[in-house]
């Protein structure tokens, strides 16, 4: 097991003029109380006599209210641009407008194990589940990492899931080849985990909007950065296109905020994740699972089914008047765009097992900057 740390410059450190003011970490953890954890499994050598192939995969976990408060429910909304993917718990989110506990992201074939592991963790840490047999519906989402990982080997174990949950913390968030994003590709470059945030002022109140993506989508010719059709001028190593394969990747976009929004507003906010990935060029492949989830930590509530049944029958929900939500939506779209680029800039080369013998190359930041300076002169870029 190995963890590849983030050592490359992020988009803003390169001088890319993304729209909006970020929080201190420029990460989803800029939403107060939210914590992110990872487990990364990278095994480059197959043990002698072992039938399993190479492991380049992992688990990402997000606690909306932190590990200390896993039994808090948060209002939420969900949207699928393309449905060739999985996000468990989404039916209940559509019906009830909330979910409880951590979110987990992994590869396509590990959803069941991660679902099991998250449930085990909740049983261990939430007394009501042990004492009253309360039901629980984890939110687990996936993208396909079979280009670089032997996905049929089912590398992820329950212990890995528990480790990802136990590692969750606030502050800076690792990006690139980490957690559930370890083996992913994006626009036929190496992709993975990326994050960004925005600060928004609404009627003298400041709110945070944070995004985390598991980026595994797009074909090279569609790739765009800040309006420049980068993919058109950068066809080298576009291994899927060269092999004649259609887009088969996916993306998970998690949008968090502390702004007071009700579930219908959050469902609309989730749609802005689709606009955010669209700003990077994708038109959405039919074989791609492009799935978005938005939630607010404002007015989070103790998850106690007995209290919901026997408590007061009148419930109040705080929310912004619709005319004041536009800046929140705009922030979500721009933060999603930046999170995708950050994922690609943080990633490192990884060899493929399918197509065998090829390498999924990380995007060269120097070439990117030179291209942007040539086709879209920008002030503040490194070397500009």
Q: Give residue limits of the domains in the chain.
A: 12-375
Instruction: Tell me what pLDDT residue 199 has.
Output: 98
Instruction: Tell me what pLDDT residue 45 has.
Output: 73
295 has pLDDT over 60: yes
What is the C-alpha separation between 176 and 211, in angstroms, rounded?
A: 15
210 has pLDDT over 50: yes
Instruction: Tell me what pLDDT residue 5 has.
Output: 41
* CATH class, range 12-375: alpha beta
Q: How confident is the model at residue 383 (pLDDT cuts 50, 70, 90)?
A: very low
Q: How confident is the model at residue 380 (pLDDT cuts 50, 70, 90)?
A: low
What is the C-alpha separation between 179 and 164, in angstroms, rounded?
A: 8
Pick from 126, 256, 239, 147: nearest CA to 192: 147
What is the C-alpha separation between 342 and 361, in angstroms, rounded?
A: 15
> What are the two backbone dihedrals, phi and then psi, of residue 86, each rounded to the nearest 5 degrees?
-135, 140
Cα distances (Å, whole numbers) of residue 275 to 96, 268, 270, 295, 306: 25, 11, 10, 17, 39
What is the C-alpha separation between 359 and 236, in angstroms, rounded?
A: 12
Can you give the pTM of this predicted structure? 0.95
Q: What would the pLDDT profile of 96-139 be if each residue is shown by its tens digit?
A: 999 999 999 999 999 999 999 999 999 999 998 888 878 899 99
Strand order in the sheet with 98-100: 98-100, 72-83, 289-302, 250-257, 205-216, 192-202
Pick from 240, 223, 219: nearest CA to 231: 223
Q: What would the pLDDT profile of 191-203 be if each residue is shown by its tens digit?
A: 999 999 999 999 9
Query: Could you give the residue numbers annotated as active site?
Result: 250, 288, 290
What is the C-alpha separation between 31 and 212, in angstroms, rounded?
A: 12
Q: How confident is the model at residue 384 (pLDDT cuts 50, 70, 90)?
A: very low
Burial 78-96 (b: 16+ CB within 10 A, else e): bbbbbebbbbbbbebbeee
Helix %, strand %, coil % for the chain, to 5?
30, 30, 40
49 has pLDDT over 70: no
Instruction: Tell me what pLDDT residue 48 has.
Output: 55
What is the C-alpha separation between 66 and 76, in angstroms, rounded?
A: 16
Are 252 and 217 within 8 A, CB to CB? no
Residue with more model confidence, 379 or 148:
148
Percent of the chain with pLDDT over 70: 92
The two three-digit tokens of residue 302, written as one number: 């103790």
Q: What angle do CA 103, 108, 112 make, to 5 degrees?
A: 65
Pick from 350, 366, 103, 108: nearest CA to 212: 103
313 has pLDDT over 90: no
Least confident of 11-20, 238-247, 256-265, 367-376: 238-247
């Amino acid at each position: 097991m190995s963890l590849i740390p983030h050592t490359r410059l992020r988009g803003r450190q390169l001088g890319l003029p993304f729209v909006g003011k970020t929080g201190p970490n420029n990460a989803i953890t800029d939403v107060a109380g939210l914590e992110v954890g990872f487990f990364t499994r990278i095994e480059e050598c197959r043990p002698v006599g072992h039938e399993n192939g190479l492991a380049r995969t992992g688990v990402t976990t997000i606690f909306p209210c932190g590990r200390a408060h896993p039994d808090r429910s948060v209002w939420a909304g969900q949207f699928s641009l393309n449905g060739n993917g999985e996000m468990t718990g989404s039916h209940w989110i559509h019906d009830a407008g909330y979910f409880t506990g951590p979110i987990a992201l992994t590869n396509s074939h590990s959803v069941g194990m991660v679902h099991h592991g998250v449930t085990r963790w909740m049983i261990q840490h939430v007394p009501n589940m042990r004492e009253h047999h309360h039901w629980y519906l984890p939110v687990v989402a996936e993208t396909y990492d079979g280009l670089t990982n032997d996905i049929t080997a089912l590398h992820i174990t329950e212990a890995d899931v528990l480790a990802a949950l136990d590692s969750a913390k606030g502050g800076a968030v690792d990006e690139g080849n980490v957690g559930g994003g370890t083996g992913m590709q994006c626009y036929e470059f190496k992709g993975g985990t990326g994050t960004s945030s925005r600060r928004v002022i609404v009627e003298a109140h400041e709110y945070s909007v944070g995004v985390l993506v598991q980026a595994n989508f797009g074909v090279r010719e569609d790739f765009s950065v800040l309006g420049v059709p980068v993919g058109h001028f950068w066809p080298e190593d576009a291994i899927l296109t060269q092999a004649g394969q259609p887009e088969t990747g996916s993306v998970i976009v998690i949008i968090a905020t502390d702004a007071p929004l009700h579930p219908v507003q959050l469902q609309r906010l989730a749609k802005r994740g689709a606009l955010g990935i669209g700003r990077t060029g994708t038109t959405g492949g039919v074989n791609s699972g492009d799935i978005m989830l938005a939630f607010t930590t404002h007015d989070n509530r103790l998850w106690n089914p007995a209290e919901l049944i026997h408590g007061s029958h009148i419930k109040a929900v705080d929310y912004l008047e619709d005319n004041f939500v536009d800046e929140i939506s705009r922030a979500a779209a721009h933060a999603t765009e930046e999170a995708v680029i950050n994922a690609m800039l943080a990633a490192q080369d990884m060899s493929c097992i399918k197509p065998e013998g090829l390498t999924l190359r990380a995007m060269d930041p120097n070439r990117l900057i030179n291209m942007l300076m040539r086709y879209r002169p920008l002030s503040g870029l490194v070397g500009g």
